[in-house]
Structure 1
Amino acid sequence: MTKPVQPSQTGAFYAQAVASFGISVTAMAIGLIYLPAEAWVRGFLALGLLYVVTSTVVLCKVVRDRQELAGMTNRVDQARLDKLLSEHDPFKVEV
């Protein structure tokens, strides 16, 4: 039985993703701090930014969990099929 190829991430890709996230959140926070508006407007936009960030993290986790579950289900189905095929003998004569 062959193992399915698991895609992997490079360290550079991980670093780029983390840096991109950090830079974007920092830039938005600085933009909100220096926004020429009243404090309640900046606060509202900051809460919106926080909501977008947290919902993005949750969405990433849900997508990852669903992908892992699908992979596990496929492995269980493959194991069942392998067992069924190994037990099947096409030359066996039923009496």
Structure 2
Amino acid sequence: DALLKDGDTIKFGSLTLKVMHTPGHSPGSISLLGEKEVFTGDTLFAGSIGRTDFPRGSEKEMKNSLKKLASLPDHFKVYPGHGPSTTIGEEKKQNPFLNRNWQTL
């Protein structure tokens, strides 16, 4: 076992993923970045986000994590921990937690 931190890389055969610390749902939440995709765990879902009302969850950290994810290219495919896949661009348009109005709050 090893602790992962922001910027670390993980290799699975020929696939290399970069660790992006995306706290909010929990303090240790991470997303894994590939070349054209991101695995978001319980941070970002199609049309929603992970809950922050659990012990040690944080709305402020979630907002910062969502800003990081929103900065990825629109074509990036999103594979959440639950539900269907989507893209960053689609979430910027449709997800009320990732649209531009919410980001300016």
TM range (shorter): under 0.3
- Write 1 or 2 for the structure with the bigger share of helix: 1
TM (norm. structure 1) is: 0.23
Higher RCO by CA contacts (8 Å cutoff, separation 6 or greater): 2
